């Protein structure tokens, strides 16, 4: 499915947060959004997913959704958002209420196998590592057979090693499911590893400073296979300029 954001601007009361964002996510494309803290990344994701109505501009969805899709635009959050009293299978089943029991169980089993969690189906979230908890978050998202995944810093709560492992799993998943993905992150190495294009937002009110195409097929980017350092450096310079400028504005105000 194709997602198109046109001339999106947003203000919370008199706080201008986003300004004139034009952005499309193509069918099967992975687009990362990076930018200084507070520039409106999460706001933009909520607008893209229809959770928040923008002050101006429009969001358009076009194209086919996968067979059996229950929710075309599906979120994955940083804090996993699991119910602590529900088992792994129970947490995945939460989003499948509209299905009959047999179909629901089959979907749960598929999603748990895809995320290597089948053996843990009866465990509670507190019995799992952080990485496994986020896998439950992913399983729950996959179970609805989404067309577009909207991910807000999905790896930020995890330690560096777990993050590396899940990054590889995400890369495989995005390819195997032909998902379109909008992926917000602070971590530039995630953006250059996973995305086809990286959108750099300016400081608040966020507008598009630059869109950087990575130019190497996603599955050829496993750690060490290609050096993405130069692209990461370029992204960092763009963001650093924005952070420095924002700091100057703060100093000037005082």
Ligand X SMILES: Nc1ncnc2c1ncn2[C@@H]1O[C@H](COP(=O)(O)OP(=O)(O)OP(=O)(O)O)[C@@H](O)[C@H]1O
Q: Name the residues that contact ligand X, by CB under 6 A.
A: 12, 15, 17, 37-43, 204
Interface characters, 63-92, with Mg ion (x: CB under 5 A): ------------------------------
State whether residue 144 is helix, strand or coil: coil
What's the full length of the chain, in residues? Answer: 254
* CA 182 – CA 76 distance, rounded (Å): 10
Q: Which is nearer to ligand X, 1 or 199 (CB)?
A: 199
Q: Minimal distance in Å, beta carbon 225 to Mg ion?
A: 30
Applying CB under 5 A, the site for Mg ion has a residue count of: 1
CB contact at 8 A, 107 and 168:
no
Binders of Mg ion in range 19-48 (CB under 5 A): 42
Q: Minimal distance in Å, beta carbon 40 to ligand X?
A: 4
Residue 37 contact among Mg ion, ligand X, none, beta carbon within 5 to 8 Å by kind: ligand X
CB contact at 8 A, 199 and 211:
yes
What b/e sequence results for 8-45 when a residue is b if at least 16 CB atoms lie within 10 Å of its CB, and e otherwise?
bbbeeeeeebbbebebebeeebbbbbbbbeebbbbbbb
Q: Minimal distance in Å, beta carbon 16 to Mg ion?
A: 17
Residue 39 contact among Mg ion, ligand X, none, beta carbon within 5 to 8 Å by kind: ligand X
* CA 220 – CA 41 distance, rounded (Å): 28
Residues that bind Mg ion in the complex, under the rule CB under 5 A: 42
């Amino acid at each position: 499915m194709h997602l198109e954001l046109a001339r999106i601007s947003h203000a919370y009361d008199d706080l201008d947060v986003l300004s004139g964002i034009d952005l499309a996510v193509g069918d099967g494309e992975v687009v990362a959004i990076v930018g200084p803290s507070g520039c409106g990344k999460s706001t933009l994701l909520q607008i893209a997913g229809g959770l928040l109505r923008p002050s101006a501009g429009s969001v358009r969805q076009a194209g086919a959704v996968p067979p059996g899709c229950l929710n075309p635009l599906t979120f994955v959050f940083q804090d996993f958002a699991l119910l602590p009293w529900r088992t792994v299978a129970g947490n995945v089943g939460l989003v499948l209420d509209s299905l009959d029991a047999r179909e629901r169980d089959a979907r749960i089993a598929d999603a748990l196998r895809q995320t290597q969690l089948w053996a843990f189906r009866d465990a509670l979230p507190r019995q799992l590592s952080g990485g496994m908890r986020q896998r439950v978050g992913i399983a729950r998202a996959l179970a609805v057979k989404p067309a577009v995944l909207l991910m807000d810093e999905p790896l930020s709560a995890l330690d560096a090693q777990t993050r590396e492992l899940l990054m590889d799993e995400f890369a495989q998943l995005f390819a195997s499911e032909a998902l379109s993905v909008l992926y917000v992150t602070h971590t530039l190495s995630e953006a250059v590893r996973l995305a086809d294009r990286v959108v750099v937002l300016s400081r608040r009110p966020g507008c598009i400073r630059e869109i950087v195409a990575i130019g190497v097929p996603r599955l050829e980017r496993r750690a060490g296979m290609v050096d993405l350092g130069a692209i990461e450096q370029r992204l960092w310079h763009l963001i650093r300029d924005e952070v420095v400028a924002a700091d100057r504005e703060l100093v000037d105000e005082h």
